[in-house]
Structure 1
Amino acid sequence: MKLTALTLAGVFVAGAALANGVAPDEVTYGEYGAVEASLSGAEGNADKGREIFSTKSMGNCVSCHAVSALPDVPFQGEVGPMLDGVGGYRSAEELRGIVANAKMTFEGTVMPAFYKTSGFIRPGNGYTGKAAEGPIDPILSAQDVEDVVAFLMTLQD
């Protein structure tokens, strides 16, 4: 009986956490692309954000952006701007909008929209060369976006 009660409690807590989140198609962007509220309803974890930022199989941010605070991460990119000090000149709201969908801030950017599931011109099905089948998941979850933003906010110098 205890296990059932604990399982039910876990389901209700998870449901409540999801209810506080914002679905990708429901994100509200400000005039210059900022997103005021947390996408997940929770604060981000900077350590997890560092991992997402620097791991090629996760956010893969490091393939385009360099950060001096990550000397242990090899092969940092030069396509996007260097992000040293970005937490000092951008707000969390601006960074949230840029990570979620940079095209809302920088119209012609090649940066992917990490929290978007619709409005694509021609999405593919992995590396098969075929069109996507069914709904598309965002590259990062709402909490992943919050974690990356928390990491970026630590880059003050």
Structure 2
Amino acid sequence: MTRQLWLVVATGLSVAAPASGEVAPKDVHYNEGKVETSLTGVPGDPANGVKVMTTNALGNCVACHTIAALPDVQFPGNIAPPLDGVASRWSEAELRGIVANAKMTFDGSFMPAFYKTEGFIRPGAAYTGKAPEGDLPPILTAQQIEDVVAYLLTLKE
């Protein structure tokens, strides 16, 4: 197997199946929107959290939120609350729950559920016939959720 093909296969496997010790999206326990325990058991990396939050193909949190600590973000969004001081308003468990699935805390939120694989409404199946079948992969991995939470915890007033 060529090295490039091996990398593609290995990457695909890491997205499809949770790593050992990782909580699968369907097994996350929300307590009034909070997720009390780490999804991975591994501390988050705030630098990786910034990357996830500012990368279009990942979380792209800055498309909706402003963050004064990241002044070089091009075209920051302003349709969601600013994230400045978020660690002074929310606990780690609350932030983990909001990032994983904000709808568990804020009913009707337009923020995507970043760590969810089932229960989606798929109008494409009725209108185009091209909606995917079965569970979808989460937008972010469990470790990426932990990384974003680690960065958000640095944003204190």
TM-score normalised by L of structure 1 = 0.83
1:92-116 CA-to-partner distances (Å, cap 9, x unmatched) read 1000000000000000100000000
**Residue in 1 that maps onto 2:21:** 20
Quickly say closer, same or farther: Cα 1:25–1:83, change in 2 above 3 A.
Answer: same
SS of 1:19 mapped into structure 2: coil
**Residue in 2 that maps onto 1:3:** none
In 2, distance between residues paired with 1:112 and 1:139? 9
| 1:25 partner letter | K
In 1, distance between residues paired with 2:41 and 2:73? 30
**Residue in 2 that maps onto 1:114:** 114
In 2, distance between residues paired with 1:82 and 1:129? 38
In 1, distance between residues paired with 2:121 and 2:138? 15
Quickly say closer, same or farther: Cα 1:123–1:22, change in 2 above 3 A.
Answer: farther
Query: Aligned-pair RMSD on alpha carbons?
Result: 2.0
Superposed displacement of residue 85, structure 1: 0.4
Query: How many positions carry a matched residue from both structures?
Result: 139
Q: Equivalences for 1:96-107 in 2 at 5 Å?
A: 96-107=96-107
Quickly say closer, same or farther: Cα 1:37–1:123, change in 2 above 3 A.
Answer: farther
Superposed displacement of residue 22, structure 1: 0.4
Contact 1:123 1:132 in 2 (8 A): no
| 2:112 partner letter | P
Q: Equivalences for 1:138-157 in 2 at 5 Å?
A: 138-157=138-157
Gaps of 5+ in 2: 1-13
In 1, distance between residues paired with 2:73 and 2:152? 15
In 1, distance between residues paired with 2:123 and 2:139? 13
Contact 1:98 1:104 in 2 (8 A): yes
Task: Tell me if 1:34 matches 2:26.
Answer: no
In 2, distance between residues paired with 1:18 and 1:93? 21
Tell me the percent identity. Answer: 58
| 1:143 partner letter | Q
Query: More displaced, 17-26 or 54-63?
Result: 17-26
Contact 1:68 1:84 in 2 (8 A): yes
TM-score normalised by L of structure 2 = 0.83
